[in-house]
Amino acid sequence: MDKFRMMFQFLQSNQESFMNGICGIMALASAQLYASFEFNCPCMPEYNYTYGIGVLVIPAFWFFLLGFVLNNNVSMLVEEWRRPTGQRGKDPTILRYMFISISQRSLIAPAVWISVTLMDGESFVCAYSVDLDVYQFGNATEHGLSEEELMRMLAKIPCKLIFDGQHIISREAATRYIQCVSQAFGWLFLLLITVIAFLIRAIRPCFTQAAFLKTKYWSHYVDIERKMFDETCTEHAKGFAKVCIQQYFESISGEMRSFHGHLRGDDSDDDDDDDEKHNNDEDKLLGIWAQDDMDKVLWNWHTCKPPLSLRKDGVSDDAKGDANTQEIGLLKLEIIYYFTRY
């Protein structure tokens, strides 16, 4: 159990690296899934296009949604978006940064699936075999086929075992042609993704780095604040349960403890140790001793989070503002200058 707990804490502390690993595993899984996937084109004019394009798009969309499901920051993003404003305003740039970060990781596996599918070309052969120009690969006028019969014959090109039009059109030539077109689209897709990724990395430093660093900082703060709040609630719940159980047993066993105390004699040392442990458990409660008080604390945290303005004890807000306004302004300018320079 301790090993699993240490592993869980490690994953929490290295969440970004863990999510990158998950995205890499999903990308490999998408390629492996396509390799083990048995492609069966229906070879019917009314279903070929739907099946071929569906194999290209639907699994990619499923991988995209799966990337959102496996990302823990999705719930944090929705909570930050839907929470009441209260004493702390909501910054749209932070929400946009979090959404873009989640989407970038979720797009890796779909991009791999689409690339592998286009490079293989079977879905393209199934989808566009009906649109082939028969006169480019054969001659259909000498056999007197109707338009409907010709489409049914072309729809059977992806299915080698049931294709019966070799005397009209060369199946191998038609298949090679469509696969070459599919691979060309695959390379164009990879080139487009690479160019977009390069432009994002190259253009981003051209904008104000101070605004980007501010957005990144507060997005990390929202994530860390949520984790620490959950940990604090967990510690408080443990202390509350422990003190509640101790008070319960003390209330029903007071007479038995006093009776055994008379029999054993003086056990003041044990009582001192118990009192010390009891006080430590009570300190974890932070002054919250009732269920109604805890419900109020949780409700206030959700509806009216405290403002992000720290102040020292014993110093009034007016005195602090008058004394430190100029210093804080200069400090902000220095920080912005430092980050924009380096």
DSSP of 68-79: HHH-THHHHHHH
pLDDT of 255 reads 58
| DSSP 8-class letter at 138 | B
Long-range contacts of the stretch 147-155 (C-beta < 8 A, 24+): 151/45, 152/44, 152/45, 154/45, 154/129, 154/130, 155/43, 155/44, 155/45, 155/48, 155/129, 155/130
pTM of the model: 0.70
Which residues of the chain are under the pLDDT cut of 50? Answer: 1-14, 263, 265-266, 268, 314-324, 326-342
pLDDT of amino acid 275: 62
Convert the pLDDT of each residue in 281-335 to its tens digit: 677 787 888 889 889 888 888 888 888 888 765 444 444 444 445 444 444 444 4
Residue of 159, 161, 138, 160 lying closest to 150 (CA atoms) = 138
Among residues 153, 189, 144, 188, the alpha carbon closest in space to that of 171 is found at 153
Domain ranges of the chain: 1-11+19-234
C-alpha distances out from residue 236 to 52, 127, 274, 290, Å: 56, 60, 19, 12
Angle at 315 between CA 312 and CA 316, to 5 degrees: 120
**pLDDT, position 126:** 92
CA 230 – CA 224 distance, rounded (Å): 10
- Residue 87, SS3 per DSSP: coil
Which residues are paired to 334 by β-bridges?
none
Name which of 146, 122, 179, 153 is nearest 44 in CA terms: 153
Sign of CA dihedral 233, 235, 236, 240: positive
SS3 content of the chain, % helix, strand, coil (to 5): 75, 0, 25
pLDDT of residue 143: 61
CA 312 from chain centre, in angstroms, equals 37
Q: What whole-number distance in Å separates Cα of residue 159 and Cα of residue 48? A: 11
User: What's the CA gap between 270 and 273, in Å, rounded?
Assistant: 5
Residue 334's pLDDT is what? 47
User: Between the CA of residue 279 and those of 22, 226, 252, 273, 286, what are the distances in Å?
Assistant: 44, 28, 20, 10, 12
Helix (H, G, I), strand (E, B) or coil at 211: helix
- What six digits make up the tokens of 161? 């075992």
